[in-house]
Structure 1
Amino acid sequence: MPAVKRAADGEEPPAKKPSSLKTNGHSKVAISFYDLDGTLIKPKSGAQFPKNRDDWVWWHSSVPELLKKEHEAGRHLIVISNQADPRDHIKSEWRAKLSLIAAKLPKEVPVRILAALSKNDVYRKPNIGMYEVVEKIYKDRGLEIDIENSVFIGDAAGRAAKGPQRKDHGDTDYKFALNVGLKFVTPEEHFLKHPRPHFPEPPNGFRPAKLGNLASLPHIVPSHTPITRPALEIVIFVGPPASGKSSFFRKHFASEGYEHINQDLLGSRDKCLRVAEQFLAGGTKVVVDNTNRNRETRAHWVRLAGKLNVPIRLFHFLCPLELAKHNNVYRACYGPADEPTRTLLPALAFNSYASAFEKPSIDEGFDEVRGVNFHFEGSEEQRRKWDMYMLELKR
């Protein structure tokens, strides 16, 4: 039976002996990466989704023979698949189906399979976690992926409906290939030699490059006064989740004697107010790092400043909502090791912020209101990942 290996829930496939990755003496290896459902196989029942382990046929009768030819040409064959049904019996059926697929492959044609079993993590396409697992396996064996001669074949290309052809269920395969830097082709091109179909190039969806050169914007406006002050004060931040507020605090305020007040850590607004008042009464400045999305929420802090007779300033984080959603996925999946681990927030957190947002104004009682434009900070490799297409949260 051909070799079938898988990675599930972010785990690396079991270690293989170096000899099992045949390379014909070359250290650079060309790989044909395939999606599974809708690319190599399809439901035998004709339904949109398979009913059980037996509900599958080859996507086209030519699939096994072409896989054999790819292998004979020295290419490695790896399946990269999103599988996200959390029910154990569905996962069990899927795993059993892999053995049935393997039994139908041409003899001695090794196919390795990696599957993302979570809807929201670094391994789920278009995120590149599964590719990085493959890259590490090869690197550990002294091999390098020949990316210029490798290819990703997948059906999720963002194509519109045409005649009897249904529209694609998404464009994650296309975005995954772009994120990695792989040539992308559809199953029709690869197996049937059809001409390249029409699909959006570049694909629909957000990536930071679409906003232009964010770094050209002034980081803080106005910028002629110091960010911090020596005197006792309250500073509050306003902005959506993942707009850079906590990073801004760590960079500019943490070392200047300010205490960090955050509702996610303290649990409630009332506790935030009590803790902040205690710090201020003891002569310690505070930064209120919450979304503070409307006048009513901010008024609690203006009243506290009046009660204690201390100045209150506001920093408004001018991060577009699409970018904040993007940052949310980036920091949860690719966040630097030297920064706090962040969990992935649901789309509701951003949508509820936007629906209740009221632009802050100095006439609310603030001594100063300043804007903060988002500037990405990190290495070139971190910037490359930040500028990729990310998961689009549906919930």
Structure 2
Amino acid sequence: MPGVKRAAEDAELPAKKREFQPSPPTLIHFTHLDPFASASPSSSSSSHSSSKKIPVSFYDLDGTLIKPRLGGQFPKSRDDWMWWHPSVPEKLKAEHEKGRHLIIISNQGDQRDKIRQEWRAKLSLIAAKIPKDVPIRILAALSKTDAYRKPGIGMYEVIERLYKDKGLEIDLENSVFVGDAAGRVAKGSVGKDHGDTDYKFALNVGLKFVTPEEHFLKHPRPKFPEPPIGFLPAKLGSLASLPHIIPSHTPITRSMLEIVLFVGPPASGKSSFFRKHFAPEGYEHINQDLLGTRDRCLRVAEGFLTEGKKVVIDNTNRNKETRAHWIRLSTKLKIPIRLFHFLCPIELAKHNNIYRACYGPANEPPRTLLPMSAFGSYVVAFEKPSIDEGFDEIRGVNFHFEGSEEQRKKWDMYMLEPKR
């Protein structure tokens, strides 16, 4: 019986042929056989046999290669799975025989330890059903809030580094990502996709994207939003064409003792602006996230001012009531107070929040992901600042991205979408 023979062969497979590779706590990295082992090149892949560029077939896992065997939306145990379609194993074999590498890129986010252990155990069961001598690599993101999670490209970057270490390069032009999360709407008895993260991941990396129906069943391309629905900085037009400072004809900093008040949503560039323009000129940084309470901020700021040190109040300062505390301090000490209003659109601020938490430059302080409620509460409470409140000057600051070309490419991508 073929089934008995396959089971016997699998039992003889050395344990080291299937193993979990070293990885960060929020990433699982599993290999079956040697993913770098060369397939026997067929006539259709001979052009790749002498090249260091390797075509890769990337796959999502759940809903693409496998589905729950018991028919539920989510698997109940390590054994509750079956191939998405009977053709899946032979298609994987055919892809391998063409000289393509096979890599699974999956989001797994259940925080319960029992569920995670069951999922890890399931990987060997899946590998045991893959056709003989077909190697595969599986990466899974465990956190819902870091760069590994699709559509973030953290898992792809891990793979890219592995290939570079081997002197190889992923042939993006001839590679593909197969996934079921394309953003399709419900149609008849077929439900809607659970999201569009697979499609966005493929776009972020630069991969051709196809659905399982196209890849395994040769169906025509289904209808889904192309490009996907979601925010990209490009949708705001050319931000770089806007003047960075309004008005821009006077210096940003002053030599005299003063209070500078920042106003703007979280992740609108306030702290970066301080580090670039005010810190080098000796201004002290006052931030409630660091000091804990407004009263402490006021006490610390007053202490610096009485010592003759200029201060920048780097908080959102969203309404008149909040700003009035600082105006009263300037009046008490007879020190001028200026305001810089950060004009970053709220959707861009949300985007920046995710970018800096997932891809923040190494030369800047690490930032945690703020809850989406922080942006909603800012919008609700915001009151546009006015010179009549008691400010000596109000200046606008338009958001300009600053960073390397590589950092810019990441900032321009689709970001993960935390629950609001």
TM-score by length of 1: 0.96
RMSD of the TM alignment (CA)? 1.8
Q: Distance in 2 between matches of 1:356 and 1:21?
A: 59
Aligned to 1:245: 270
Alignment of 1:176-215 (within 5 A): 176-215=201-240
Corresponding residue for residue 246 of structure 2: 221
Secondary structure of 1:102's match?
Answer: helix
Alignment CA distance shift 1:340-1:203 (3 Å): same
Deviation for aligned residue 1:44: 1.3
Please identify, of 18-27 and 334-343, the stretch whose mean Cα deviation from structure 2 is larger: 18-27
Rounded Cα–Cα distance in structure 1 between residues aligned with 2:126 and 2:399: 48
Conserved 8 A contact 1:5-1:114: no
Q: Which letter maps to 2:167?
A: G
Query: CA separation in 1, counterparts of 2:250 and 2:76?
Result: 65
Q: Distance in 1 between matches of 2:178 and 2:69?
A: 21
**In structure 2, how many angstroms separate the alpha carbons of the residues matched to 1:30 and 1:19?**
13
2:413 partner SS: coil
Q: Which residue of 2 aligns with 1:94?
A: 119
Q: How much has 1:12 moved relative to structure 2?
A: 7.5
Deviates more, 1:172-181 or 1:51-60: 51-60
* Equivalent position to 1:34, from 37, 41, 59: 59
Tell me the equivalent position of 2:418: 393
For the residues of structure 2 that align with 1:148 and 1:306, how far apart are their CA atoms?
64
In structure 2, distance between residues paired with 1:21 and 1:378: 38
Identify the residue that residue 5 of structure 2 maps to in structure 1.
Answer: none
Counterpart in 1 of 2:404? 379
CA distance in structure 2 between the partners assigned to 1:15 and 1:200 by the alignment: 34
Question: Residue 273 of structure 1 corresponds to which residue in structure 2?
Answer: 298
How far is the alpha carbon of 1:15 from its aligned partner? 9.5
Of 14, 19, 25, the match for 1:9: 25
- Taking the aligned partners of 2:258 and 2:31, their CA distance within structure 1 comes to 57
- Matching residue within 65, 69, 82 for 1:57: 82
Asked if 2 retains the 8 angstrom alpha-carbon contact of 1:241 and 1:350, the reply is: yes
1:368 to 393, 410, 419: 393
**Residue 22 of structure 1 pairs with residue 38 of structure 2:** yes
1:210 alignment partner, SS class: helix
Detail structure 1 runs of 4+ shifted over 3 Å in the superposition.
Answer: 1-21, 23-26
Aligned to 1:301: 326
Over 3 Å counting, the alpha-carbon distance change for 1:83 and 1:15 in structure 2 is: closer
Q: Which moved more, 1:283-292 or 1:348-357?
A: 348-357
Q: Deviations over 1:144-170 (max 9, x none)?
A: 100100000000000111111111000
Inter-partner Cα distance in structure 2 for 1:243 and 1:218: 16
Q: Against the structure 1 CA distance between its residues 314 and 365, is the aligned structure 2 distance closer, same or farther, given a 3 Å change threshold?
A: same
Deviations 1:23-45 (A, max 9, x none): 64531110000000000001112
> What is the CA distance between 1:225 and its match in structure 2?
1.6
For these two proteins, the number of residue pairs brought into alignment is 395
Check the 8 A contact 1:5/1:111 in 2, yes or no: no
What are structure 2's unaligned runs of at least 5 residues? 1-9, 40-48
CA, structure 1 residues 118+18, in 2 after alignment: closer, same or farther (shift >3 Å)? same
CA distance in 2: counterparts of 1:241 and 1:366, whole angstroms: 22
**2:353 is the counterpart of 1:328:** yes
Look up the match of 2:3.
none
Matching residue's letter, 1:91: R
Task: State percent identity of aligned pairs.
Answer: 76
* Distance in structure 2 (CA, Å) of the matches to 1:121 and 1:237: 28
Aligned partner of 1:172 among 185, 191, 197: 197
Q: CA deviation at 1:303?
A: 0.5
Deviates more, 1:13-22 or 1:78-87: 13-22
- Contact 1:362–1:368 (8 Å) recurs in 2: yes
Query: Would the aligned equivalents of 2:18 and 2:31 in 1 still touch at CA under 8 Å?
Result: no
Alpha-carbon spacing, 1:208–1:118, altered in 2? closer, same or farther (3 Å): same
Is 1:315 aligned with 2:340? yes
Cα gap change, 1:34/1:15 in structure 2, threshold over 3 Å: closer, same or farther? closer
- Mapped to 2, the partners of 1:333 and 1:16 lie a distance apart of 29
d(CA) in 2 for partners of 1:152, 1:214: 32
CA deviations 1:210-264 (Å, max 9, x no partner) are 1110000010111122111111110000011110000100111111121000111
Task: Provide structure 1 residue ranges, at least 5 long, that are not aligned to the other structure.
Answer: none
Cα distance in 1, alignment partners of residues 26 and 18 from structure 2 = 17
Secondary structure (helix, strand or coil) at the match of 1:253 reads helix
* In structure 2, distance between residues paired with 1:133 and 1:5: 17
Range 69-78 or range 354-363, more displaced: 354-363
The alignment status of 1:141 with 2:166, answered yes or no, reads yes
Q: 1:4 to 1:219 in 2, by over 3 A?
A: farther
Higher mean C-alpha displacement, 344-353 vs 180-189:
344-353
Task: Assess, with a 3 A threshold, how the Cα gap between structure 1 residues 78 and 16 changes in structure 2: closer, same or farther.
Answer: closer
- 1:73 Cα deviation after fit: 0.7
Query: Hey, what's the Cα distance between the residues in 2 that align with 1:22 and 1:365?
Result: 72
Show CA shifts across 1:38-91 (max 9, x none): 000011122111111111111101000100100111100000000010111000
Closer/same/farther in 2, CA of residues 177 and 52 from structure 1, 3 Å limit: same
Pair 1:234 & 2:250 matched: no
Q: Which moved more, 1:277-286 or 1:6-15?
A: 6-15
Could you tell which deviates more after superposition, 168-177 or 3-12? Answer: 3-12
